[in-house]
Amino acid sequence: MAIHFDEASRVFYLHSKGCTYAFGINSLGMPEHIYFGSPVGEDLSFGKYSQTGRSHVAIRTDETGKAYDLSAMPQEFHTPYGGDFHTPSLVLSYANGSRRSDFTYTGFEILEHKPALKGLPALREGQTLAVFFAAKGVKLTLSYTVSEKAAAIARSMKIENLGSTPVRVEKAHSFAFTLPNLAWKAVYLTGASGAETHWQQTSLDRGVFTLDSKRGTTSAAMNPALAVGLPETGENQGQAYGVNLIYSGSWSISADRTSYGSVRVSGGISEFDFSWLLEPGESFQTPEAVLAYSNEGFSGLSRQFHDLYRESLIPRQFVKKPRPVIINNWEGTRFLFTLEKLKGMISRVAGTGIDTFVLDDGWFGKRDDASSGLGDWFVNEKKLGGPLKDLIDFTHGKGMRFGLWFEPEMVNKDSDLYRAHPDWVIRTPEEEPVEAREQLFLDLTREEVRSFIADTVNAVIRSHEIDYVKWDCNRDMTEGYSLALPPHRQKELMHRQVLGVYDLFQRIVEANPNVLFEGCASGGSRYDPAILYYFPQVWISDQTDAPARAKIQYGASLCYPLSSQSCHVTESPNRRAKHLTPFGARADMAHLGATGYELDATKLTDEELSRIPGQVAAYRADEDLVLEGDLYRLEAPVGGSNYFAVCLVSKDKTKGKLTVMRLQENFNEPERKLFPRGLDPQVRYYVPELDRTMAGNSWMHFGICPKFPDGDYETQVYHFRKENT
Ligand code: DGJ
């Protein structure tokens, strides 16, 4: 049984594929975390550590006189006061101003089918445990979902006001658990727009380590993910834990190394400028968080996240389906395209295997730069030289499908929409709203605004043959205020806006079930599991320089499967970085995700053009590895390393692929050996690039020394094919 309650010890055991999570109800009626890690039997004990005989600590005593120190108690949620001095994960304030909540256990339920989280994206399946607690008229439900697909569990919390006076939720993290007193290190992803998901590492010493976004969106500065490991944990060995929030608004994850040495980890909606009023009868549902485990290092941890998201989160009809190979006009033309230019680009690549043309920003309203037009989702026929249908027909005539860019959540001041509804934007009554990229957020807490956007966007998609939509979001939130909310609910705005975004996603995705949606937010500013619930892939960065992208793609794979990373071949020298990167190397890097090309195709040389069919064929031949394979990260292109290396292996271990990039050519650099991972040790694999067959264990232990041509940013790819397949 995946979830089991041991009545005698009052311990809940949650067994997912490859991990066990356990917590018990102690004699104070509080839930104590016991264990998270490799599968174990149902014979654990708990409760001793926080029992105390000391008199100089704050004491809570049960009916039998047993004394507890709450600060030492590893609970499944932590409330302030009453003896707990560490970072709380749940803060409620009551009508009389008190913020103390002494929740006690009241019961549990095991649900075979996971209930949906109202208004929020979440894992779609898994046996679910709901555990109930009560205090001062509030019912608290902790939910735990186990997975048959991965070593992970999902957690969320619901707060219901069953009393007769209002309750205010001041902080409501989705999960909390405690790691024992060991020398933990943290791995996390930081950056900026254009430099997203850079791998960072630090040790978790005494104090509170916090990752967060206060931007109202997920943020490129930090991704809502934290991995922790022990000193010996590396990419491919050691214990690793990971948390990842299924949420796209302001968030926080904290790790509080307490005076007892243990580390309290909790995460969820950011407490910054947040509160939520619960009138009697109302409830609040937190987003879901994923907790994953591996004893095969950080790469092993990533494989758990990847399997879980592919099996239980990403839309089923797309997740394992071959993706379009795209030609997108943005980097080639930006806003300033002509019909002739677009047709020229399409014609140039027709017949190469590139199968979808995506028309990016600039096709609607009055839109020749970022200053105007957002919100006016009607085709600019003057700029396009006729109806959009003509361009779509032209694209179809060349044997390709058609995709279109939208940024539905936004409006420019210089737009018909803003002129008609200036009060539809997020702003305070007094100040002028702060512009970013010359645009403002529409107030998605308002039903009429959501309906208007859904109707106009759906009308464009429905009235044209559109197979793909790129959904962009090019700014963070700068105003914590809605003209539609009363003063005492203003701190609800940031979260209400996110709920509005999800409602909008749902209405538009549901209305267009055959359209593949790609998420984007100035690149990867909104790359999180919640987005993947609606959109199977994300444009993860506007940084398209292959060596710089190597860092971004490497980091992003900590939690997100390669199939969710949209990666394009762009021009060289790169627009910003000015690096000269070989055409083949750019393709090799772009083949580690949902691939495409994004450049002015009319400027492709004949030699480059002649190589595209081979590149697309190579991508298609191994696309299954991107869509379903196991990822083994071998070498991070950070911290002075001169290499990027990853290995992909099919689930049945009949094939694999090792991709390596050498960043800089160094005169007389010693040769570098790489050791592939994940192959079947007994199976013999042929590697065509080396024209050699060896057993999997020989490849993995003897290794490969890549030979690079002269020059920077060269790649080598080695394919492993099971003999006689
Ligand atoms: C930001 C995206 O990241 C780009 O790819 C492009 O779509 C622009 N927005 C268009 O404005």
pLDDT at 725: 64
Ligand 1 pocket test target in 359, 361, 535 with most atoms within 8 Å of CB? 361
pLDDT at position 642: 96
Res 542 pLDDT > 70 = yes
Confidence of residue 58 (pLDDT cuts 50, 70, 90): confident
Per residue in 483-538, pLDDT (tens digit) is: 999 999 999 999 999 999 999 999 999 999 999 999 999 999 999 999 999 999 99
pLDDT bracket for residue 405 (50, 70, 90)? very high
Ligand 1: residue whose CA is nearest its atom 2: 522
Closest ligand 1 atom to 331 CA: 5
Q: Which atom of ligand 1 is nearest to the CA of 598?
A: 5
CA 396 – ligand 1 centroid, Å: 24
The residue type at 426: I
What DSSP designation does 328 have?
A: E
More confident residue, 671 or 269: 269
Residue to substitute in 474, 552, 570 for testing ligand 1 pocket (most ligand atoms within 8 angstroms of CB): 474
pLDDT, mean of residues 560-567: 98
For the segment 339-360, the average pLDDT, to the nearest whole number, is: 98
Q: What average pLDDT does the segment 129-141 reach?
A: 98
Please classify residue 243 by burial: count the beta carbons closer than 10 Å to its beta carbon, then call 0-12 exposed, 13-18 middle and 19+ buried.
buried
- Residue to mutate, 520, 598, 599, ligand 1, most ligand atoms under 8 Å from C-beta: 520
Q: Convert the pLDDT of each residue in 39-57 to its tens digit.
A: 999 999 888 778 877 777 8
What the block records as the tokens of 562 is 């390669």
Q: How far is the CA of 406 from the centre of ligand 1 (A)?
A: 10
Going from the Cα of 715 to the center of ligand 1, the distance in angstroms, rounded, reads 27
Which residue intervals of 228-277 are DSSP H helices? none
Interval between CA 576 and ligand 1 midpoint (Å): 15
Distance (Å, whole) CA 408 – CA 375: 7
Instruction: Give the residue whose CA is nearest to atom 1 of ligand 1.
Output: 522
Q: At how many degrees (to 10) do helices 583-590 and 546-556 cross?
A: 10
* pLDDT the model gives residue 253: 98
- Residue 53 burial class via C-beta count within 10 angstroms: exposed 0-12, middle 13-18, buried 19 and up: exposed
pLDDT digits (tens, 9 = 90+) for 188-208: 999 999 999 999 999 999 999
Catalytic annotation, pick one of 256, 443, 467, 542: 542
Q: Do 443 and 452 touch, CB atoms closer than 8 A? A: no
C-alpha span between 413 and 425 (Å, rounded): 10
Query: Closest residue (by CA) to atom 11 of ligand 1?
Result: 361
Atom of ligand 1 nearest to the CA of 541: 3
What single-letter DSSP state applies at residue 296? B
User: In the prediction, which pLDDT does 563 show?
Assistant: 98
* pLDDT single digits (tens) 137-162: 999 999 999 999 999 999 999 999 99
128-135 and 276-278 as β-strands: parallel, antiparallel, unpaired?
unpaired
pLDDT, tens digit, 9 for 90 and up, residues 620-665: 999 999 999 999 999 999 988 999 999 999 999 999 999 999 999 9
* Distance from the alpha carbon of residue 476 to the mean position of ligand 1, in angstroms: 14
Residues 6+ apart with CB under 8 A from 624: 650
Cβ(602)–Cβ(344) below 8 Å:
yes
The predicted-structure confidence for 524-540, as pLDDT tens digits, reads as follows 999 999 999 999 999 99
Amino acid identity of residue 121, one-letter, is P
414 catalytic? Reply is no
- Choose which residue among 360, 437, 439, 468 to substitute to test ligand 1 binding: the one with the highest number of ligand atoms within 8 A of its C-beta: 360
pLDDT given for residue 668 in this prediction:
86
Residue 619 CB contacts under 8 Å (≥ 6 apart), including other chains: 325, 587, 591, 595
By the 8 A CB rule, do 299 and 633 touch? yes
Which of ligand 1's atoms lies nearest the C-alpha of 370? Answer: 11
**What pLDDT band is residue 565 in, cutting at 50, 70 and 90?**
very high
Residue of 472, 545, 630, 680 with catalytic role? 472
Write down the pLDDT at residue 1: 59
Q: What are the CA-CA distances from residue 278 to residues 116, 272, 384, 724 (Å)? A: 21, 18, 51, 65
What lines the ligand 1 site, CB under 6 Å?
Answer: 330, 360-361, 405, 472, 474, 520, 522-523, 539, 542
For 566-579, how does the pLDDT look when each residue is reduced to its tens digit (9 = 90+)?
999 999 999 888 99
How many residues does the structure list for the chain? 725
Tell me which residue has its CA closest to atom 9 in ligand 1.
522
How far apart, in Å, are the Cα atoms of 233 and each of 75, 228, 300, 673? 26, 9, 11, 21
Site to probe by mutation for ligand 1, drawn from 469, 539, 549 as the one with most ligand atoms within 8 Å of Cβ, is 539
Percent share of the chain, pLDDT over 90? 95
Residue labelled with tokens 């000391």: 54
Instruction: State the pLDDT at residue 588.
Output: 98
545 is catalytic: no
Ligand 1 atom nearest 330 alpha carbon: 6
Q: What is the mean pLDDT of residues 228-254?
A: 98
- Tokens 């002509």, residue? 338
At 386 the pLDDT is 96
Give residue 370 CA to ligand 1 midpoint distance, Å: 10
Q: Nearest residue CA, atom 10 of ligand 1? A: 361
Compute the mean pLDDT over every residue in the chain, rounded to the nearest whole number: 97
Which tokens belong to 278? 């619960």
Measured in Å, residue 514 CA sits from the centre of ligand 1 at: 23
Ligand 1 center to 522 CA (angstroms)? 6
Cα(659) to ligand 1 centroid in Å equals 28
Looking at the CA of residue 360, tell me the nearest atom of ligand 1.
7
Looking at residue 77, its pLDDT comes to: 98
C-alpha to C-alpha distances, 683 to 301, 699, 720, nearest whole angstrom: 25, 10, 11
235 in the Ramachandran plot: left (φ > 0), alpha (ψ -120 to 50) or beta?
A: alpha
> For residue 520, which atom of ligand 1 is closest to its CA?
3
